[in-house]
Chains A and B, each alone.
Chain A
Amino acid sequence: MIETDNLIQDLLGIGGEDGLSTGQAQLDAVALDGQSPRAIVRPSTAEEAAAYLKYANSHGLKVAIRGGGVHSGIGNPLEWLDIVLTTERMAAITEYSPADLMVGVQAGVKLSDLKAELAKNGQFLPVEAAGLLQGATIGGAIASNTSGPFRLAYGPARDWLIGVKFVLADGTIAKGGGKVVKNVAGFDMMKLFIGTLGTLGLIYEMNFKLLPLPPLTSTLVVAFDDYQAACGLALKAIDTGTFPSALTVLDRGAALAVGLPDRTATLLLEVRNTAQALERQVRDITGLCREAGAAGPDMLDGSQEQHDLWQKVTGFGYRELSGQGLALKVSTLPDQSAALLTQAHALADRLSLRISLLSHAGHGLSWLTGSYEDEDKALEFVRELTSWAERLGGSVAAERLPLALKQRVGDVWGTALSEGELKLMRGIKAKLDPERTLGPGRFVAGI
């Protein structure tokens, strides 16, 4: 039996009134998988967060960590929820050294605020996430290992995180890495914490390396009659050394969703460089389009126009209401984008789902959204697409599913991991959160 008669009193004792919300409407607004917590705590320092976590941990209470809350539902169904801990009051840029191309931020900093701050110095952090405009935080983006179209040029978010500070469920405050760009002192805790969805600890502060904003960019839009041709040109653009920074193939639904014309397949390419080099890149890509017999390309030159389009591409799949329809993140090898588009559409036709798919052909991550009437068929769709991807060495993460469907899927990450690897992951969880205080059930195989 959990003894928490004094829960509210105790939580007040830790962080005072500013740190606590218990209004039913507030609690319901942060419900996860249909469960409202009994309290929301808002620590303003790592020490406070540690005190809350330690309290929960020693009283058998279960905690979910919340950033912007735009995608808190990612993961397997939560087993139990007592407290939501939000990072909204830990939202300071702790150190910004433009001369070192380095920034230190607390978890609750909104991606949009960080972006604006860095832009003042002509710099940026190549961490992209859907939900940027809706208040996604840097902590949430790192905890869910997000990426977007420009990963082709800059690599995944993990390449930019150079230091991490965290709080474990037992209240231990610790860190890994540092603030220099090269560092091999000790285990790489940054890699360990990225993508953990709040199941190993609270990430409260991060250091990143930065880049200068590109001098100039051009975006090319090419229409095709079939996926193969679009994806083929994407790979060719890499192969022939035109150095694109983003290569995204959109099906009809995805094109419409980002405001592009209604075409079977659309390839978006972006190049960024100095004026002269850019001209040459555009010329080379145009040549490739001609060779491939494609019309166009259409060029977007205006920087605002390009920015808006890519923002929509990055935000593809975001919905105000969680639980509406499904959203899958599919990981394949770059040369399997066309096969994925074909396979997903064939499956969707057979099972009467309406889907839209956007594939970053250069780095192999794709996003699929779908709506359905028949839950059985939707379930079959998710399962079949997942096993198709897994057979090819890839994987599917069902990042958004209505609760009823989520509960039937089994594991939202499919079955790519064998029992052997899972045993190691359970071992890590058991060492860092032995009481399973943080997001119990959320992670792969119900970790």
Chain B
Amino acid sequence: MTVSEKETGATAHTPKINRDKLVRDMAAIVGPEGVLHKTYDLKLYEYDGSVDKHLPEVVIFPRSTEQVARIVRYCNQEQLYYTARGAGTGLSGGSIPLRGGVLIAFTRMNKILEIDPENLRAVVEPGLVNLHLSQAVAPYGLYFVPDPSSQKACTIGGNVAENSGGPHTLVYGVTTNHVTGLEVVTPDGEIRNYGGKATDGPGYDLTGLFVGSEGTIGLVTRVIVKLTPLPPAVKTFLAIFDSVEKCSNAVSGIIRNGVIPAALEMMDNLMIGAVEASSHAGYPLDAAAVLLVECEGLPAALEQQAGTIEEICRQEGAVEFRTAKDAAEREALWKGRKGAFGAVGRMSPDYYVVDGVVPRSKLPQTLAAVGAISQKYNLRIANVFHAGDGNLHPLVMFDGNKPGDLEKAVKAGEDIIRMCAAEGGTLSGEHGIGVEKRDMMCFIFNEDDLAIMRRIRQAFDQQGLCNPEKVIPTPGRCGETRIPTARKAQEIYERADMQAW
């Protein structure tokens, strides 16, 4: 039994499910090959990239919107909880069926339905893998901007639900800025169209409200995305520092000067060590910290921008610059960056990814505070993050087999998040609230703020069956430290689709 069950006694309210009937009825909707129900199979779907887990009763793989609508109507009729799942790379437990019930996996709805290069739009199914979209539109000189480091595996539906970002969303914005319309199966089982290919349609912005709602107000079955022309030229370079403080000062300086590159990522020494050990990307092992900078645009403008950024870094004490000579060097650097989490996984039995944001001028003191938290708990913390956005990702290393270590890691993460909130930042820049941070929402929102979110949720989901227990805390329970189920984080690396990182 998971901690969340213990806390809520939720299972007590769940009606007794006749699993055989459920499996039969679901097979009638999606065919027998679209239903998993053996414990052995379900085990693969009880967790995501976070540190929580809970078994679903069944996993269903719909192939059409109509099937999704029928599943939802069935769940309403039988009073079953249901939760959507993309690739399960989420880092806040969003796709974990916390009260069991039906897990709706979208991986078989993965088609690209339309590419409209003239109008810079594509229409895709939610199970499409993020990278596959950019690959498919590349021949038109276009790409889909949001590029989470998990892009080889994560789905567009998951990106929409989490409002995901990535290294290259600094200038062009995160998922919500690249979605103009959605087809959604609402919690009452109806198929609805929000927005469209054109923008500024009449009415409340249901598309904008849905993006980032973490699967709690409906299931998306079709996504209309904005495409962006590929940059004519790119320049990628490393600025190398002998102290973390100098490096974070440089980031603040770059933003203060308003020269915002396409990507501005930072890694500290511990992280560089992990990355180099697993991929030999070309990062200097002796550096205290590096900035990975990518400028893009017209060649002339690009050189000038890169020059200004170098200048600022030099003033802040950068000791060396290395420019990627060719596409291969550039790719190696990015492969290292995008594989950073996995690299830490090879270095430590377990790790806990923390996601917090601070105003960009506060990076220097924030990183110092993360260092202090590492010492306080006596746990190593590696830093790799979207520095340009002020979006930290401290990776807290621990050993799940050591009694008390998980608790310590979770507490360290909570300290970091509290500190981000106190600095005027936020709980999550891109990984979402899910269950992981649900009870931390009160660090930044008061009961009135949360009550309004609850009202919005009820406007869509009167029965409360859609992805229960996520995002919005139960009144009064907020603020308590939630120690998640001690899933062995190691399990994640055994999954083939996660090997890529």
Give the interface of A toward B (CB within 8 A).
Answer: 97-102, 122-123, 145, 147, 155-156, 158-159, 168, 172-176, 178-192, 194-196, 200, 211-212, 235, 238, 241, 243, 273-274, 276-277, 279-281, 329, 331-335, 363-365, 393-395, 397, 413-414, 416-418, 420-422, 424-425, 427-428, 430-432, 443-444
Q: Is the CB of A185 within 8 A of B441?
A: yes
Q: Is the CB of A100 within 8 A of B197?
A: no
Nearest-CB distance from B477 to chain A (Å)? 16
User: Can you give 28 contacting A-B residue pairs, CB < 8 Å?
Assistant: A101-B255, A158-B208, A159-B177, A174-B446, A174-B451, A176-B449, A182-B426, A184-B430, A186-B433, A186-B472, A187-B209, A187-B453, A188-B209, A188-B212, A190-B208, A192-B208, A212-B258, A241-B141, A277-B298, A333-B118, A363-B199, A365-B199, A395-B200, A420-B190, A420-B191, A428-B204, A432-B455, A444-B203
Interface residues of B in 429-461 (CB under 8 A from A): 429-433, 437, 441, 444-446, 448-453, 455-460
Of B199, B205, B450, most buried by chain A (CB within 10 Å of CB) is B199
| Residues in B neighbouring A363, C-beta threshold 8 A | 199
Known: A184-B429, A420-B190, A424-B186. A431 touches B119 (CB 8 A): no
Cα of A243 to Cα of B300 in the assembled complex, Å: 13
Q: Is the CB of B193 within 8 A of A421?
A: yes
Of all chain B residues, the one with the shortest Cβ separation from A432 is B455
Cα of A71 to Cα of B228 in the assembled complex, Å: 33
Of all chain A residues, the one with the shortest Cβ separation from B308 is A274
Closest 9 CB pairs of A and B: A191-B208, A212-B258, A277-B301, A413-B202, A276-B300, A182-B429, A427-B459, A431-B455, A277-B300
Nearest-CB distance from A390 to chain B (Å)? 10
| Residues in A neighbouring B229, C-beta threshold 8 A | 238, 241
Nearest-CB distance from A101 to chain B (Å)? 6
Q: Is the CB of B389 within 8 A of A182?
A: yes
Q: Is the CB of A333 within 8 A of B205?
A: no
- B428 on interface, CB distance cutoff 8 Å: yes
Q: A192-B209, A334-B120, A335-B118 are in contact. List 17 more A-B contacts (CB 8 A).
A: A99-B361, A100-B359, A101-B360, A174-B448, A179-B424, A181-B357, A182-B430, A184-B431, A184-B433, A185-B426, A279-B300, A331-B199, A333-B119, A394-B198, A395-B202, A417-B203, A427-B459
Cα of A145 to Cα of B203 in the assembled complex, Å: 11
Q: Is the CB of A431 within 8 A of B256?
A: no
Q: Is the CB of B211 within 8 A of A182?
A: no
Q: Which of A187, A280, A413 contacts B300 (CB 8 A)?
A: A280
Q: Is the CB of B258 within 8 A of A181?
A: no
Q: Is the CB of B304 within 8 A of A274?
A: yes
| Residues in B neighbouring A397, C-beta threshold 8 A | 200, 202
Nearest-CB distance from B358 to chain A (Å)? 7
Of A182, A211, A416, A417, most buried by chain B (CB within 10 Å of CB) is A182
Q: Which of A122, A187, A279, A393 contacts B456 (CB 8 A)?
A: A187
Cα of A5 to Cα of B382 in the assembled complex, Å: 67
Q: Is the CB of A273 within 8 A of B301?
A: yes
| Residues in B neighbouring A172, C-beta threshold 8 A | 448, 451-452
Interface residues of B in 79-122 (CB under 8 A from A): 116, 118-121
| Residues in A neighbouring B449, C-beta threshold 8 A | 174-176, 186
Q: Which of A122, A188, A274, A421 contacts B211 (CB 8 A)?
A: A188
| Residues in A neighbouring B120, C-beta threshold 8 A | 334
Give the interface of B toward A (CB within 8 A).
Answer: 116, 118-121, 141, 162-163, 165, 169, 173-174, 176-177, 186, 190-194, 196-209, 211-213, 229, 232, 252, 255-260, 297-301, 304-305, 357-361, 386, 389-391, 424-433, 437, 441, 444-446, 448-453, 455-460, 471-472
Q: Is the CB of B258 within 8 A of A122?
A: yes
Cα of A53 to Cα of B165 in the assembled complex, Å: 38
| Residues in B neighbouring A418, C-beta threshold 8 A | 193
Q: Is the CB of B471 within 8 A of A186?
A: yes
Q: Is the CB of A156 within 8 A of B390?
A: no
Of B197, B426, B455, most buried by chain A (CB within 10 Å of CB) is B426
Cα of A99 to Cα of B256 in the assembled complex, Å: 4
Cα of A365 to Cα of B200 in the assembled complex, Å: 8
| Residues in A neighbouring B174, C-beta threshold 8 A | 182
Nearest-CB distance from B34 to chain A (Å)? 27
Q: Is the CB of A180 within 8 A of B390?
A: yes
Nearest-CB distance from B231 to chain A (Å)? 9
Nearest-CB distance from B220 to chain A (Å)? 14
Cα of A394 to Cα of B202 in the assembled complex, Å: 10
| Residues in B neighbouring A187, C-beta threshold 8 A | 209, 212-213, 453, 456-457, 471
| Residues in A neighbouring B208, C-beta threshold 8 A | 158, 188, 190-192, 194
Q: Is the CB of B162 within 8 A of A184?
A: yes
Of all chain B residues, the one with the shortest Cβ separation from A242 is B298
Q: Is the CB of A100 within 8 A of B119?
A: no
Nearest-CB distance from A339 to chain B (Å)? 13
Of all chain A residues, the one with the shortest Cβ separation from B194 is A421
| Residues in A neighbouring B472, C-beta threshold 8 A | 186
Of all chain A residues, the one with the shortest Cβ separation from B119 is A333
Cα of A61 to Cα of B457 in the assembled complex, Å: 28
Q: Is the CB of B298 within 8 A of A281?
A: yes
Known: A97-B359, A422-B203. A180 touches B429 (CB 8 A): yes
| Residues in A neighbouring B455, C-beta threshold 8 A | 431-432
Nearest-CB distance from B259 to chain A (Å)? 8
Of all chain B residues, the one with the shortest Cβ separation from A188 is B212
Of all chain B residues, the one with the shortest Cβ separation from A173 is B448
Q: Is the CB of A420 within 8 A of B192?
A: yes
| Residues in A neighbouring B359, C-beta threshold 8 A | 97, 100, 102, 179-180
Cα of A183 to Cα of B169 in the assembled complex, Å: 13
Cα of A176 to Cα of B252 in the assembled complex, Å: 25
| Residues in B neighbouring A145, C-beta threshold 8 A | 200
Q: Is the CB of B426 within 8 A of A183?
A: yes
Q: Which of A97, A168, A176, A185 contacts B361 (CB 8 A)?
A: A97
Cα of A430 to Cα of B202 in the assembled complex, Å: 18
Cα of A97 to Cα of B256 in the assembled complex, Å: 9
Q: Which of A173, A176, A185, A395 contacts B198 (CB 8 A)?
A: A395
Q: Is the CB of A99 within 8 A of B389?
A: no
| Residues in B neighbouring A159, C-beta threshold 8 A | 173, 177
Q: Is the CB of A180 within 8 A of B426?
A: yes
| Residues in A neighbouring B169, C-beta threshold 8 A | 182
| Residues in B neighbouring A280, C-beta threshold 8 A | 298, 300
Cα of A149 to Cα of B192 in the assembled complex, Å: 31
Cα of A273 to Cα of B300 in the assembled complex, Å: 10
Q: Is the CB of B163 within 8 A of A184?
A: yes
